[in-house]
């Protein structure tokens, strides 16, 4: 039974309060959509859960293990995997090598056949078996996205956070990604999907979390969220002052000349 408990998570960047007392729970193989306007703190939340940045306060437990102070590689081993908003495949490694990385990080050996078999299975599933020896940089953007999903399958985490999995993907590959999400969910994995494509989110998820400027303003079924005045206000209401650093916090600015 998968159990992710996030309680009273706070994150500030300097003066920016990017996450304000965010609490929620994931129980079992849920399919959850995480939405919110730009700068709402979605990516920051992902980064905090994943261990890439440490929260200022609050705790995160995954299956009884406290993960909010662990470095990201340990979080991955405890069972939380994520993709990135911009695709981050290992470009100068072959597709198979890309898949080996998480498997070997879990301590498996690539000398044995089972890892290779597993990788081939994943590739068949992603319709990429013929590309196994290609360098990742030779793949299209959509295929790289699939490869990233494939790496997550090799890591085999209990809970997967997908950051904008549909952005910039060819409609043909979109079908594969839908299928992937359904199948992975059927295997008993929980999923949190961040996306701006509402129709996809509404089609896939039974539960939505809505972040607005660091506040978790809704946690409900899609139908209720759609009619929630607070959410409508957040999306359509005040458009000024959405300058939280959540969305692109890792971007650096050049110094002045």
Binding site for another protein (CB under 8 A): 12, 14, 50, 52, 56, 71-74, 76-77, 81-82, 84, 86-93, 97, 100-102, 104-106, 110, 130-131, 133-134, 137-145, 151, 155, 167-170, 250-257
Shortest separation between residue 230's beta carbon and another protein, angstroms: 28
Tokens of 108: 């498996």
Cα separation, 44 vs 46, in Å, equals 5
Shortest separation between residue 84's beta carbon and another protein, angstroms: 7
> Could you tell me if 115 and 36 are in contact, meaning their C-beta atoms sit under 8 angstroms apart?
no
Which CB sits closer to another protein, 97 or 220?
97
Which CB sits closer to another protein, 119 or 218?
119
In eight-state DSSP terms, residue 252 is -
Which CB sits closer to another protein, 14 or 229?
14
Q: To 10 degrees, the CA torsion angle through 127, 91, 162, 141?
A: -60
Cα separation, 101 vs 91, in Å, equals 13
Which CB sits closer to another protein, 54 or 206?
54
Shortest separation between residue 88's beta carbon and another protein, angstroms: 4
Shortest separation between residue 114's beta carbon and another protein, angstroms: 15
Return left, alpha or beta for 241; rule: phi > 0 is left, psi -120 to 50 is alpha, else beta. Answer: left
């Amino acid at each position: 039974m998968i159990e992710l408990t996030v309680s009273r998570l706070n994150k500030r960047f300097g003066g920016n309060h990017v996450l304000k007392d965010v609490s929620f729970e994931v129980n079992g193989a849920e399919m959850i959509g995480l939405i919110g306007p730009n700068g709402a703190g979605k990516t920051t939340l992902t980064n905090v859960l994943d261990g890439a940045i440490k929260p200022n306060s609050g705790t995160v437990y995954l299956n009884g293990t406290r993960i909010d102070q662990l470095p990201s590689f340990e979080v991955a081993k405890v069972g939380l995997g994520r993709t990135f908003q911009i695709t981050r495949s290992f470009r100068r490694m072959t597709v198979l090598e890309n898949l080996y990385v998480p498997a070997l990080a879990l301590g498996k050996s690539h000398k044995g056949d089972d890892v290779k078999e597993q990788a081939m299975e994943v590739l068949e599933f992603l319709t990429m078996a013929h590309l196994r020896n290609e360098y990742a940089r030779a793949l299209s953007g959509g295929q790289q996205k699939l490869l990233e999903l494939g790496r997550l399958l090799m890591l085999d985490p209990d809970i997967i956070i997908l950051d904008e999995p549909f952005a910039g993907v060819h409609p043909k590959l979109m079908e594969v990604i839908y299928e992937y999400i359904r199948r992975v969910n059927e295997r008993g994995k929980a999923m949190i999907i961040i996306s701006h494509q509402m129709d996809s989110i509404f089609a896939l998820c039974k539960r939505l979390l809505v972040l607005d400027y660091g506040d978790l303003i809704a946690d409900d079924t899609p139908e209720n969220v759609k009619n929630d005045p607070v959410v409508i206000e957040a999306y359509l209401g005040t458009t000024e002052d959405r300058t939280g650093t959540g969305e692109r916090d890792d971007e650096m600015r050049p110094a002045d000349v």
